[in-house]
Amino acid sequence: MTGYPALNAVGFAILGVLVYLAACAVFARLAPFAVWKEIIQERNLAAAILAGAVALGLGWIVAAAMH
């Protein structure tokens, strides 16, 4: 942490986005199906809702950890 609050905010924002993207990539890898194939090609609404819920949950966790 630096003495500059704006620099701290930018650093934590970048770190949060990177952690969020890594967690989403892990979710896509560990899912028992091809997440993006199901959403885009098969137009599976349930898979899209699941991916959205996971993305929101991960975002909340990262935001709480950064707060």
Residue 45's pLDDT is: 96
For 19-45, what is the mean pLDDT? 92
Q: Report which residue type is found at 59.
A: G
pLDDT value for 22? 93
**Average pLDDT of span 46-54:** 92
**How much is the pLDDT for 53?**
92
Tell me the per-residue pLDDT of 3-31, one tens digit each, with 9 for 90 and over: 888 888 888 889 888 988 998 899 989 98
Calpha distance 31→21 (Å, rounded): 15
Domain boundaries, the chain: 5-66
SS (H, E, C) 34-55: CHHHHHHCCCCHHHHHHHHHHH
For 43, phi then psi, to 5°, come to: 55, 45
